[in-house]
Structure 1
Amino acid sequence: MASRVPIWWDEAHEVLLNDELLGPVVKEHGPAGISSREDLFQTLVRSIVGQQISVTAADAIWGRLCAHLGEVTPHHVLATDQPSIASCGVTRPKASYIYGLAEDAERLMDQPWNTMSDSEIQKHLVSFRGIGPWTAEMMLMFHFLRQDIFSLGDIGLIRGTQRLVPDAETKEQVGEIAERWRPYRTAAAWYLWRILDPVPVEY
């Protein structure tokens, strides 16, 4: 499936390249950035698989899940069962969440996304079991390519910011620092993650 890149990325890259704090990181990792696979269901399932585990573990489980399902679609999920999903390495609660999303796929995906604000999309997504604020924020970034999302619930963004500003000890202080990167906090987050892991995460 072809990936879509955000129309605002080049401008965000140029702005952040000149930022006193983040500029050296942007220069080191170059202009390539975030993209969307344009498959909301698959992106959501992948984000649920990756909740609270390492990228390496998530990639391994995702590979087994893809092999089991053939294709990660609501139809293919409903053609199997929750124990079979769990056998791929997914916890039983996560298997339940994935199955529930497949059962309610029409309500999940049939929305006027282009006219919805960031907060409206987040409110819709968190109405489904298994989707909390962090997962909704990842969807805003990695699927909808919204340009000014910064998740204070993401430990990687907290630690990345603290590498740049060691005195930022609380989430509130990190949030205050992130204000300098408006309106391109999504791109700032992308580069902050690179501080901790040069290999980009995918959803």
Structure 2
Amino acid sequence: MNEQQPIPDYQPLSEPNRFLAIVSVLASLRDCLAWLWLHARGQNLNGCLPVMQKGKPEWWQDAIEFLKEDELLGEVVRKYPNGSLEGKGALFETTIRSIVGQQISVIASDAIWGRLLTMIGKPIPENVLKFTEAELASCGLTRPKASYIYGLAKDSDSLLNQDWNNMTDNEIKQHLIQFRGIGPWTAEMMLMFSFMRPDVFSIGDIGLVKAVKILVPEVEDKNSIEQIAERWSPYRTAASWYLWRMIDPVPVGY
């Protein structure tokens, strides 16, 4: 029979070690609370928020509450209570969809986009590269647009693989406009419809300029339009969606 070993006397922690133990416990508690908070919000539990959001942006209701009190835009917001900006969660798709829509109407853009999808299937770089630029153009694209889309598919790694979470709106825009076919307007559409940034207004968008002139007929130049748009900050993206609704029979989407 084994002899029972005596229980060693309890040795209290020294003051420095006691402090370190408390810090360790508090840090663990902090991490647990952070995990629970992210889980409750349905966010990425790896600690990184998804930048390519799908569906309605999380800030949309706050934007509605803000904009419906605006003297210029409030009536328009109340007229369309059910719709919203919709993200597809796919940056490459939004990129080429925006290029298709450059300088043409929403209806024409939708028709060309439909024919392009019929040809290539899922809008991913690998599928685009299965076709020539001439074949892409046969969907109704101009030759330059077909060339831009093909080129972006070839350069998709450089285009897409960035630390988007840690980039400002302007940093994202400056990165995007380095690529052929992506100018300020296209980059701004990507900020709105892929990154779901809430405070973007594209002064290069013909529809937005037209809608603001309907609201404020005396406005004369783009600088004045940008000044008017400042009243809708920090939700100029949502304001843009409602401005488009004023002039287009279907909601704008990229």
TM-score grouping bracket, smaller chain normalisation: over 0.9
**Aligned match of 1:28:** 79
For residues 251 and 107 of structure 2, what CA distance do their matches in structure 1 show?
12
1:39-50 equivalences in 2 (<5 Å): 39-50=90-101
**Is structure 2 residue 173 aligned with structure 1 residue 122?**
yes
**Aligned match of 2:88:** 37
Q: CA deviation at 1:3?
A: 3.2
Of all paired residues, the percent bearing the same amino acid is 58
1:1-203 equivalences in 2 (<5 Å): 3-203=54-254
In structure 1, runs of 5+ residues without a counterpart are none
CA contact (8 A) 1:12 1:184 kept: yes
Give 1 or 2 for the bigger CA radius of gyration.
Answer: 2
Q: CA deviation at 1:31?
A: 4.6
Amino acid at match of 1:34: L
Amino acid at match of 2:136: I
For residues 127 and 177 of structure 1, what CA distance do their matches in structure 2 show?
29
For residues 145 and 11 of structure 1, what CA distance do their matches in structure 2 show?
14
Q: CA deviation at 1:10?
A: 0.4
User: In structure 2, the residue corresponding to 1:10 is in which secondary structure?
Assistant: helix
Q: CA deviation at 1:195?
A: 1.1
For residues 11 and 71 of structure 1, what CA distance do their matches in structure 2 show?
33
For residues 32 and 95 of structure 1, what CA distance do their matches in structure 2 show?
31
Amino acid at match of 1:56: I
Amino acid at match of 1:15: F
Calculate the TM-score normalised by the size of structure 2.
0.77
CA contact (8 A) 1:13 1:31 kept: no
For residues 250 and 114 of structure 2, what CA distance do their matches in structure 1 show?
17
For residues 138 and 159 of structure 2, what CA distance do their matches in structure 1 show?
25
Q: CA deviation at 1:113?
A: 0.8
Amino acid at match of 1:29: Y
CA contact (8 A) 2:106 2:248 kept: no
For residues 194 and 87 of structure 1, what CA distance do their matches in structure 2 show?
30
1:76-101 Cα deviation digits (max 9, x unpaired): 11111111101111111111100100
RMSD: 1.2
Amino acid at match of 2:108: A
For residues 249 and 65 of structure 2, what CA distance do their matches in structure 1 show?
20
For residues 60 and 198 of structure 1, what CA distance do their matches in structure 2 show?
14
Deviant stretches of 4+, over 3 Å: none
